[in-house]
Amino acid sequence: MADPQWDDLRIFLAVAREESLSGAGRILRLDPATIGRRIARLEAAVEMPLFVKSPQGYRLSAAGEQLLRHGESAERALRMGVESLTGTSSGRLTGQIRLGAPDGCANYLLPKICAGIAREHPDLDIHIVALPRVINLSRREADMAITVSAPTAGQLLVQKITDYHLHLVAARSYLREQAPFATVADLKGHPVIGYIPDMIFDSELDYLAELNVARVPLASNSVPVQLNLVAEGSGLCVAHDFALPFHKGLRKVLEDEISMTRSFYLVRHQGDQKSDRLNRFSALLLDGMRSEVTRLESLT
């Protein structure tokens, strides 16, 4: 058996996470044919197939699953070794950290928080991945992710960050043209804006189910788009209180009758809890989010 090369292992990890040669090629900036040759070389070195190939992509074989566990351990060890040699003398964070978050959090909370961290740590690159879906940490789409529910599967480290609140809102211009809302029953006949129903990626985001709203005439998988639709006088929507200071023309409706509480969680790879760099960044992020949610909600 020939000794596998580390660079081939790096390519193996990319194919395992992307489940295709083309996907791994985009990540590594190599053409798929080169990726395929390197995987074949690695399989020849270990003398067994690492993937089950099909029209749907590359799925790990039993041997591939075993190699993935060891490969990720080696990857973490290398990353932590590099971290131990950089940034320790000055106390500053360095390198790159990719943070996934739902777009409401990414648009209204993270800019101020991450800009503040970046000022204190100018050699640190922070990448905010704002996606209207769950970030896949196992595929290394991000180093850590903010979620609205705590995952229960996988080898993950989950920390609750903070609670946040939501209320029904409408534009002042819209409310001036309507009879006053006295009870929830008065909402009947008014258009309610929300998420595209079949694109709700977490049940915690299904706010309109709590209001028994069956039809969503205007919808978007983006929170800022929903709020901008409301600002145009198109109807009402459930909004994060922390977003309202950015939309001065909106006001709460039936504030006492319709009030929701949700939570943010920070999710990380369990193996990364030994990384001083990621632990320090996580602590700064948690403190920043708790302070920012409290500050913005106090303005509404």
Per-residue pLDDT tens digits for 103-137: 999 999 999 999 999 999 999 999 999 976 666 66
Report DSSP state, residue 270: G
Q: Once rounded to an integer, what is the mean pLDDT over residues 221-244?
A: 96
Domain limits, the chain = 6-84, 89-161+263-297, 163-261
* Statement: residue 154 has pLDDT above 80: no
Residue 180, Cβ neighbours under 10 Å: how many? 7
Largest separation between any pair of C-alpha atoms in the chain:
80
Q: Where are the alpha helices (DSSP H) in the chain?
A: 6-18, 21-28, 32-46, 62-85, 103-108, 110-120, 172-176, 207-210, 223-231, 276-297
Q: Tell me which CATH code domain 89-161+263-297 carries.
A: 3.40.190.10
Q: Annotate 56-91 with three-state secondary structure.
A: CEEEECHHHHHHHHHHHHHHHHHHHHHHHHCCCCCC
To the nearest whole percent, how much of the chain has pLDDT over 70?
A: 91
pLDDT, one tens digit per residue, over 95-105 is 889 999 999 99
**Residue 219 DSSP symbol:** B
**pLDDT, the chain, mean:** 88
pLDDT value of residue 1: 55
Strand-pair category, 144-147 with 250-252: unpaired
Residue 89 has pLDDT above 60, yes or no: no
Lowest mean pLDDT among 67-76, 247-256, 262-271: 67-76
The answer, yes or no, to whether residue 90 has pLDDT greater than 60, is no
Q: Does domain 163-261 have CATH number 3.40.718.10?
A: no
Per-residue confidence (pLDDT) for residue 141, from 0 to 100? 76
At 27 the pLDDT is 81
Same fold, 6-84 and 89-161+263-297: no
d(CA 196, CA 198): 6
Task: Give CA angle at 113 (107, 118), nearest 5°.
Answer: 115
Domain boundaries 6-84, corresponding CATH code: 1.10.10.10
